[in-house]
Amino acid sequence: MLEAINLSKSYGGHMAVSDLNLSVATGDIYCLLGANGAGKTTTINLFMGFINPTAGQVKVNGLDVASESNETKKHLAYIPENLMLYPNLTGIENLDFFCGLAGKSYDKEQLEEMLIDCGLQPEFIHTWVSQYSKGMRQKVGIALARAREASVLLLDEPTSGLDPKASNEFSELLLSMKEKGVATLMATHDLFRAKETGTHIGIMKQGELVHSLEADAITVLELEEFYLDTMTIAKPQES
């Protein structure tokens, strides 16, 4: 479970995230929408503990990220927009290495099976990652998240730049993890994907979470209209 309580992050005078309150329960997929610079990636980075909040608190499965950064990471799996792996290692070697760092140990057959389950073509399993496409690297990332048996998944625009087929496969993998009770927070620009895979949708604007919706309560067209309206209307200025 993920919680942001009155969370703020500022850089100099600029508020990247402002008074954010958010909760992602077990089995939920919370999709954060917003324009570039809205604060989506900053929010993910705060949950990851890569940066410290200016105010407020971030919790992962009840643990405070700021004070127990390494401990909370044991519950998390993270896939950035452009997942980079070690180019001189094969996909299976990368997976084995990162699993090992997370304290998980699998034999070769199990690792191969995980990669294949995540959609990586078998002929690429033992190929150096330098020859992988972005989509293939993202699949290794998902395999890693599954192998780590993480209860929380943080995704920062994971389908950006993927072709529709790969993007669809990625969504299916997310849904399969949802079935296993994984709480997912995903920053994305893809409204369609957010509606199809998300259980909740949040819209961020200038560091604030301006709307939070149930995905089932809205159609894709309504979401698009709502999103565009939100982006167009100027943020109310405090008097």
- From residue 42, alpha-carbon distances to 38, 47, 62, 64, 154 in Å are 9, 9, 20, 17, 12
> What SS3 class is residue 10?
strand
Q: Which is nearer to other proteins, 102 or 218 (CB)?
A: 102
Query: How many other C-beta atoms are found inside a 10 Å radius of the C-beta of residue 35?
Result: 15
Q: Footprint of other proteins on this chain (CB under 8 A)? A: 48, 50, 69-74, 76-78, 80, 82-89, 93, 97-98, 100-103, 141
27 and 153 Cβ atoms separated by less than 8 Å = no
**Nearest approach, Cβ of residue 237 and other proteins (Å):** 35
**Nearest approach, Cβ of residue 233 and other proteins (Å):** 34
What is the rounded CA–CA span in Å between residue 109 and residue 94? Answer: 15
182 and 111 Cβ atoms separated by less than 8 Å = no
**Nearest approach, Cβ of residue 44 and other proteins (Å):** 10
Q: Which is nearer to other proteins, 48 or 187 (CB)?
A: 48
Q: Which is nearer to other proteins, 98 or 227 (CB)?
A: 98
Q: Which is nearer to other proteins, 152 or 215 (CB)?
A: 152
Q: Which is nearer to other proteins, 78 or 170 (CB)?
A: 78
**Nearest approach, Cβ of residue 74 and other proteins (Å):** 5
- Relative to beta strand 55-60, strand 63-64 is antiparallel
**Nearest approach, Cβ of residue 100 and other proteins (Å):** 4
Q: Which is nearer to other proteins, 137 or 195 (CB)?
A: 137
What is the rounded CA–CA span in Å between residue 113 and residue 121? Answer: 11
Alpha carbon 207 to chain centroid distance?
18
Amino acid of residue 79: I
**Nearest approach, Cβ of residue 94 and other proteins (Å):** 9
DSSP lists the bridge partners of residue 4 as 22, 58
